[in-house]
Homo-oligomer: A and B are copies of this chain.
Amino acid sequence: AEHGPSLAQSATQSQAALAYEAAVAGGIPVIKAVREGLSGNALKRVYGILNGTCNYMLTAMRETGRGFEDILSEAQELGYAEADPTFDVDGIDAAHKLAILASLGFGCKIDIDSLHIEGVRDVSVVDFQFAEELGYRIKLLGIAEKISEHDDSIKIHQRVHLCMVPLDHPIALIDGVDNAVIAEGDFVGRTLFQGPGAGEGPTASAVVSDLVDLARGNIPPTFSVPTDNLKRLTAVSMDELETAYYIRLNVLDKPGVIAEIAGALRDENVSIESVLQRARDPGEAVPVVMTTHETKEARMMAALAKIGALEEVVEKPHVIRIEHFASKPCEA
């Protein structure tokens, strides 16, 4: 993910092959699927659950109602999480994998620095309860979308963050340590590849398939196209993202507070889809959950800055993006 293009260049120069099936999604042959199996397609979007540690933790939090730190300790005991979990729980591992998939899928140079990366540390048990009520599952997804293609560059949006995914989307139901990759092609439509994303058996399976390929003389270009033909990746800033949002606020139950929050959203042209408010003991802060229709991230963040500054809002607003994967992101 960080040195791929230069490694590929070295491999080409020394007439060697660079094989790396185990680098993404463990035992699922997804490098091969995207590079060879879907080679007839221009991909529009490639995304998925790319880190089994996070998926295990999110599944366990939902199923047990236990908190993040508690589940993390358990995952560490079970060997699903490292002693220093940063790489996994902050989304960095998933970002590496997404950057490789994007390069393969879109034929562009990897640009790991242009990825927007968020992890899973901020999610609370109460978010899982609200998600269930609203018909969503919370997943850490890596999402790469082609926005437009030009002669020498491709405009791509790459991001790793928590998502609320509707229950009727197959990725919502993939639980535990499994990984899953969805590739959307212009001819094939939506294909999904699911399986064990880590572990010695699955990793060995991927490495041996590379060796068998080499022995059979199957040596395709490292990143789908020869390294010199990879296009420049033009990154898209998060400000330009258009999606729906789940917002959870902790507010003091005073008259007019909902009106102030709704006003801040209206001022930024953000349209509210639903509001959930739970009763609490008088005097306590009350959780208020809102979902919005699709809007620009920049507008949403501006509204949230105003909302977070309100006296009655006693915590930094919690935000999870809602993904429907309905629109076709690519104009080209």
Chain A residues at the B interface, C-beta cutoff of 8 Å: 21, 27-29, 32-33, 36-41, 170, 173-174, 185-196, 199, 201-202, 204-209, 211-213, 216-218, 220
| Alpha-carbon distance A253/B207, docked complex (angstroms) | 62
Residue among A32, A37, A213 with the most chain B CB within 10 A? Answer: A37
Which residues of B sit under 8 angstroms from A207, Cβ to Cβ?
40
Q: With both chains docked as a complex, state the minimum distance between the C-beta of A34 and any C-beta of chain B, in angstroms.
A: 9
Q: How far is the CB of A23 from chain B (nearest CB, A)?
A: 14
In the assembled complex, the Cα of A39 lies from the Cα of B211 at a distance in Å of: 9
Interface residue from B29, B191, B204, B216 paired with A27 (Cβ < 8 Å) = B191
Q: What CA separation (Å) do A187 and B204 show in the bound complex?
A: 7
CB neighbours of A190 from chain B (8 A) = 195-196
Q: Is the CB of A218 within 8 A of B187?
A: no
Question: Which residues of chain B have C-beta atoms less than 8 A from A29's C-beta?
Answer: 32-33, 36-38, 191
- Given B188, B196, B218, B220, which contacts A195 in the complex, CB threshold below 8 Å? B188
Rounded to whole angstroms, the CA-CA distance of A194 and B27 in the bound complex is: 16
Q: Given A191-B195, A192-B192, A192-B194, answer yes or no on A209-B37 (Cβ-Cβ < 8 Å).
A: yes
The reply to whether B40 and A36 contact each other, CB–CB distance below 8 Å, is no
A207 to B39, CA, bound (A): 10
Given contacts A29-B33, A209-B37, A209-B39, contact A191 B188 (CB under 8 A): no
Do the beta carbons of B195 and A195 come within 8 Å of each other? no
**Which residue of chain B has the shortest Cβ distance to A28 in the bound complex?**
B191
Question: Contacting A205 at CB < 8 Å: which of B38, B173, B208, B217?
Answer: B38
Q: A32-B32, A187-B201, A189-B27 are in contact. Are A38 and B209 (CB under 8 A)?
A: yes
The answer on a CB contact under 8 Å between B173 and A213 is no
A246 and B20 alpha carbons, distance in the complex (Å): 46
Name 19 extra pairs, CB < 8 A, besides A27-B188, A36-B218: A27-B189, A29-B32, A39-B209, A39-B212, A40-B207, A186-B201, A187-B205, A187-B208, A188-B201, A188-B205, A189-B196, A189-B199, A189-B201, A189-B202, A192-B193, A193-B193, A194-B194, A217-B218, A218-B220
Residues of B within 8 A of A192 (CB): 192-195
In the bound assembly, the distance between CA atoms of A221 and B203 in angstroms comes to: 24
Q: Which of A185, A189, A199 has the most CB of B within 10 A?
A: A189
A224 to chain B: closest residue by CB = B212
Task: Give every chain B residue within 8 A of A220 (Cβ-Cβ).
Answer: 216, 218
Tell me which residues across on chain B come within 8 A of A39, comparing CB atoms.
208-209, 212-213
Interface pair A212/B27, CB less than 8 Å apart: no
Query: How far, in whole Å, are A270 and B28 apart by their CA atoms in the complex?
Result: 39
B residues less than 8 Å from A218 (CB atoms) = 36, 216-218, 220
Q: How far does the alpha carbon of A209 sit from the alpha carbon of B206 in the complex, in Å?
A: 21
Who on chain B is nearest to A221 by CB? B216
